[in-house]
């Protein structure tokens, strides 16, 4: 099967321009906070992945089905409905640590590998940064560079 064409890939679109174009002022401010957090944790400058994901680093994956591709190691999207942070789904060997952090985070929802936050005021930013760091470390364990 090999690499199939995926829609979400790195682009040369300016991250600063994308954040500046977010219609709601509060969401723009929150995006700047989340961007700064990811830069601290990853030590990397972001790139746009597709039209709406601000991503840091990249990794190549291949599923047992043969499907493969490249995606950002960490990222977020300042969506209107919620800030969406892309985290590794199962935290590998550190699920207990992740569960303890989620319990202290504040108001949020999770998907398979997404964290949804309506507004940053609803969560503890220190705990959020620890979750981003845990996800980053776990990604680097599963997909070494």
Q: Give the residue numbers spanning the domain of 83.
A: 10-142
Q: Classify residue 47: in a domain, yes or no.
A: yes
How confident is the model over 105-128, as a mean pLDDT?
96
Q: Classify residue 45: in a domain, yes or no.
A: yes
* Alpha carbon distance, N-terminus to C-terminus of the chain: 24
Q: Classify residue 1: in a domain, yes or no.
A: no
| Spatial separation of the C-alpha atoms in residues 62 and 114, rounded to whole Å | 20
Question: 106 burial class (0-12, 13-18, 19+ CB within 10 angstroms)?
Answer: middle
CATH number, domain with residue 52: 3.90.1150.200
pLDDT in tens, 6-19: 667 888 999 999 99
Q: Classify residue 48: in a domain, yes or no.
A: yes
Q: Classify residue 26: in a domain, yes or no.
A: yes
Structural domain count of the chain: 1
Percentage of the residues of the chain whose pLDDT score is greater than 70: 94
Q: Classify residue 65: in a domain, yes or no.
A: yes
pLDDT in tens, 14-41: 999 999 999 999 999 999 999 999 999 9
Q: Classify residue 4: in a domain, yes or no.
A: no
Q: What is the pLDDT of residue 5?
A: 55
Q: Classify residue 2: in a domain, yes or no.
A: no
pLDDT in tens, 33-79: 999 999 999 999 999 999 999 999 999 988 888 888 899 999 999 99
Instruction: Report the predicted TM-score, pTM, of the whole model to 2 decimal places.
Output: 0.90
């Amino acid at each position: 099967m090999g690499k199939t064409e995926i829609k979400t890939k790195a682009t040369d679109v300016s991250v600063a321009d994308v954040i500046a174009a977010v219609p709601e002022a509060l969401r723009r401010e929150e995006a700047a906070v989340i961007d700064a957090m990811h830069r601290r944790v990853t030590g990397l400058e972001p790139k746009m992945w597709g039209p709406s994901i601000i991503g840091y680093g990249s990794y190549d994956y291949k599923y047992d089905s043969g499907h493969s591709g490249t995606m950002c190691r960490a990222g977020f999207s300042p969506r209107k409905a919620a800030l969406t942070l892309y985290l590794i789904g199962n935290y590998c060997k550190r699920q207990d640590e992740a569960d303890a952090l989620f319990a202290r985070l504040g108001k949020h929802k999770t998907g398979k590998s997404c964290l949804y936050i309506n507004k940053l005021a609803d969560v503890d930013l220190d705990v959020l940064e620890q979750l981003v760091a845990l996800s980053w470390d776990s990604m680097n364990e599963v997909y070494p560079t």
